[in-house]
Every structure is written in structure tokens, then in C-alpha cells.
Structure 1
Amino acid sequence: MNRTRALLAPLGWVLLLVPVLTAVFGPLVAGPTRSVGDSLSPPGPGHPLGTDELGRDVLALVLRGGTSIVSMAGAALLLSYLVGVPLALLVAGGRRRWADRLVLRLLDFLLALPGLLVLLVLAATGWRGTTTLVLATAALQLPAVVRIARAAALAPETSTAMEAMTMQGESRARIRLGYLGRSVLGPVVVDAASRLNLVLYLMASANFLGLGLASSATDWAVLIELNRDALFIQPWAVTVPALMLVSLCTGVNLVVDRRLSERGTVRR
């Protein structure tokens, strides 16, 4: 078991850093993404990964295509936690139980809405583009984020400590945003790692359906959709961007699991 963990630790970092570094530094070294040859050409001189449906160099597209999907997914995920966690801390276990119930009922309504249906409705009414996609994705994650943080904040040991701090005269803001914030950090980090998969899936699906970025965009998800019919003709145009997305999700989960495991071992 220890040997397996020792192997998974560097593997997780490799899987995480490859797509992240590609997204950050790839555009600096990528070649032109305009049409430079015949469509769906196999790998060859000048095109190590061949060309895509539009005759563009696949390697250049992969190097440039991570910036948009990584930045949009990161922004949506960060926004959902920046709003959801403070909201959960403020309403969880407070004296105003009606506020807690009201927030949960409103979020339950949002939770019942299918994510892709919401994006389809927005697109049909003219709300398209990256900003709309980021805000809509963040809003769709908000109910689950609030429930995760609220459940962690209502743990028995947390409630006991809060009562003691209240009797000592600590301010409400210090108790809820300070002590409770640290208490829910572990569950929130674990949830964020797994939720990244959902966010990437939703954004990739939106791009597949043409609800996000334009079909000519150099985005990994768009590249998969654009070239999926040519999977057996020019597989590199589909498999390489798909592997980048899989690597990102797997790497995040492995790294977070490893860090939390080490943290728990140190505490014990």
C-alpha cells in the first residue's frame, strides 16, 4: 500500500502539471493555428500530430487550446466557492432558522434544474459567450457547494466549540468566518477536486453543443467536438485534447487525496 501511494504521488503531479503548464505556457511556443494544409492529414514533417478538420496543425491547437477551458473552469469553480462557502457559514446553525430554511429551499429549486437544459435556454434567448457560461456554471454548482459547507459546519464537534467561543464573548464574524471557515476547509477542498470534473464536463458539453465558444475556437473541448467524426481517420486530433482533459481531472484528484492523506497522518 505504501509503495502504491509512493508511486501515485509523483504521478498525480505529472498528470496535473502537464495540462496546466500546457495551458499557461503553450501559447508562447505554439505555431500558427490558421489552416496550413490538407484537412485530417496524418502526422508527418511539419505536423507532428497531423492536421484537424479545418487543416490546422493539431499540435499548435493543443498548445493553445488549454487556456480557455482551464481558465473558465477555474473561474466558475472559484466563483461558486467564493459565494457558496460564506453563505453556508452565515446561515448554518444560526438563530434565524427561517433564513437557513429559505436559502436551502431556493437552492433546492436551482439544484433540480438540469445543467445542460439551463445552458440551452440561455443560448436560445441570446445569452451566449464565455461570461454567461462561467456565471451559469458557477450558479449550477452553488446548491451542492452550500450543502457541503453547511454539513461540515454543523458537525457535533464544531457546534460544541462554537458554543464555547460564544460564551467567551467572541464575535459572530470571528466564529463563523474564522473558526468555521477553517473547520470546513478539508471537506471543501475534497469537494472542489471532485467538482472540477463536473465543471469540466458541463463546460465541455456546452462547447460540444455550440453553447459556449465558437466552433473555430482553439479549445480542447471544441477540438474534440469538431473532429469526433474523424476519430478513426485522424485519431490524434481527438485523443490528444481528450487526454489533456482526463489528465487534468485525474491529476487534481490524486494530488488533493495525497495532500489530505498526509495531513491526516500528521494529525494522528
Structure 2
Amino acid sequence: MPVALVLIAALAGPWLVAGSATAPVGGPFEPAGGDRLLGTDVLGRDVSARVLTGGRALLLQAVAATVLGSTAGLVAGIWAGTTRRRRAAQAVLRSVDAIAAVPALLLLLLLASGVPGNDAAVAVAIAVVSTPFSVRVVRERTAVLAATDYAREAEARGDPLSARIRHDILPGLAPVALAEAGIRFVAATQLAATAGFLGLGAGAPAANWGRMVRENSTGLAANPLPVLLPAALLVLLAVGVTALLDRAAHGRVGDLARVGWSA
């Protein structure tokens, strides 16, 4: 599967590089050939080594941001959809809307640039930027599930909130949460690549797929691979992971249907 190859290249790539990814090995933008399978980049560095070492930080940023944002979205969304403290819930939702009103790229720049050269800061900034959407989606779905007859019956029986969330909310929320995580991962990948393009996170000479696109755009005519290959890998990564999560979500829906569960 293509996405599996991209994930392997991103995570294991730095261990597969035989030479240096930062030292020049030839002239700028030399075409592919000989012992340099993908040619050289703007500074004469081996493109294959740069590609293999440039995906891990970006992928880990996207994964960390997805996990952080999805966890925060689930906690806040479920609470807002089940709590009786409506004023407090509305205050949280208004705060989330205020964050969402700020352009994502501007907020990313403000948060990540405060800790320059830090990949973890980029991941946290991406999570903050994308969390409002998750909170809204989870809250709306939770409110629908909490209003169903079986959920109200459980509440009338005096079942504790934790049990009602586990048995009445989470089974119906799982497909939505998985689909939202897929969208979040795509957005996180794009934002992580944008952060690299803008020079946020670990700086040069560290390789980064997003930064490679910016660094080598002037040499498209001589050797387009330093630009096209990282861009293609980003597209395959985003689309492939989303397809896997969609498949998992559909499988979850099928499992629920087979056991007779319905929303």
C-alpha cells in the first residue's frame, strides 16, 4: 500500500541513509544519475538523503497534534454535550469559537514562533489551531446521542454519567471521532508542512519536506525532484491515512449494525 511505504520512508528513513543529508556532494540541481538517484538540491546535497530524513519530524508533529487535538476535542465536546451546566458549556463553546475566528496560519505563527527551533512547539500550536473544529463536531454528535430514548432511560435509572458515556455515547461517537481524526490528520500534515515551509521548528540544515519545497523551487527546470517528490509524499500521506481511517469508521458502523445498535 502506498501510504505504508510513505510511513516507512518517513519514520525509518533517517536510519536508511548511507551518507550525509546535510553535506554537499555535487553542484546545485544536478539531475538524477549515477550514485545520486534523485540528483542534488539547491546546495548540492543528495536529494534522496534529504527526502529520507525530511519526513520523520513532520509526521511526528502531525501525529502528536492529531492525538492532542482529538483528545482535547473529545473531552471538551463530550462534557459540553452532556453537562447540565449550560452556561459553563456555552462559555467554553464561545471561547472555542473565538480561537476558530483567528486565521489558522496566523495563530500557528504566533504560537510556534514564540519557541523558535522547537518541533514540539509546532505540534502543540497545530493542535491548538485545529481543536475548535473537533470540539464542535463532538459536542453536536454527543448532544444527539444524549437525547436518544435509551440514553434518557439510562439517566432515569440513575446510571452514573461515566457509565452512560461509555455505553450510550462512545459507541455512536466512535465513527464520527475516527472520521474527524482523519480530517484532523490531513489538516495537521498540511500545517506541519506549512510550518516547515516557513522555517518554523528545527531550522536548517535539518531536512524537512515542507522546507524542501521552498528551498528548491528556483531549480524546477534543472531538477524538479527536490520539489515534486516531497510534495507527492505529503499528498500520498494525507490521502492514504484518511482512506484508512474512513475504512475503519465504516467497519465500526458495520459492527454496530451487526449487533443491532442504532443511533
- CA deviations on 1:35-59 (whole Å, 9 max, x unpaired) are 2221211111110000111211111
Check 1:158–1:61 CA distance in 2 against 1; reply closer, same or farther (3 A cut): farther
* Residue 158 (structure 1) shift: 5.3
**2:11 pairs with 21, 24, 28, which one?**
24
Compare 100-109 and 158-167 and name the one that shifted more: 158-167
* Residue 156 (structure 1) shift: 5.2
Check conservation: 1:89, 1:177, Cα contact below 8 A.
no
Compare 234-243 and 149-158 and name the one that shifted more: 149-158
Counterpart Cα distance in 1 of 2:110 and 2:153: 49
TM-score of the aligned structures, taking structure 1 as reference length = 0.88
* Residue 263 (structure 1) shift: 4.1
Check conservation: 1:84, 1:146, Cα contact below 8 A.
yes
Counterpart Cα distance in 2 of 1:260 and 1:120: 33
**1:221 pairs with 210, 222, 226, which one?**
210
* Residue 154 (structure 1) shift: 1.3
Counterpart Cα distance in 2 of 1:84 and 1:111: 13
Check 1:189–1:158 CA distance in 2 against 1; reply closer, same or farther (3 A cut): farther
Counterpart Cα distance in 2 of 1:188 and 1:53: 42
Alignment correspondent of 2:82: 93
Gaps of 5+ in 1: 1-13
Compare 243-252 and 253-262 and name the one that shifted more: 253-262
RMSD: 2.0
* Residue 66 (structure 1) shift: 1.3
Check 1:261–1:180 CA distance in 2 against 1; reply closer, same or farther (3 A cut): closer
Counterpart Cα distance in 2 of 1:188 and 1:208: 29
Alignment correspondent of 2:229: 240
Give the aligned length: 255
Compare 100-109 and 37-46 and name the one that shifted more: 37-46
Check 1:202–1:190 CA distance in 2 against 1; reply closer, same or farther (3 A cut): same
Question: Runs ≥4 in structure 1, deviation > 4 angstroms?
Answer: 123-128
Q: Report the AA paired with residue 37 of structure 1.
A: G
Check conservation: 1:16, 1:248, Cα contact below 8 A.
yes
Counterpart Cα distance in 1 of 2:252 and 2:174: 12
Asked which structure has the greater RCO (Cα within 8 Å, sep 6+), the reply is 1
Alignment correspondent of 1:167: 156
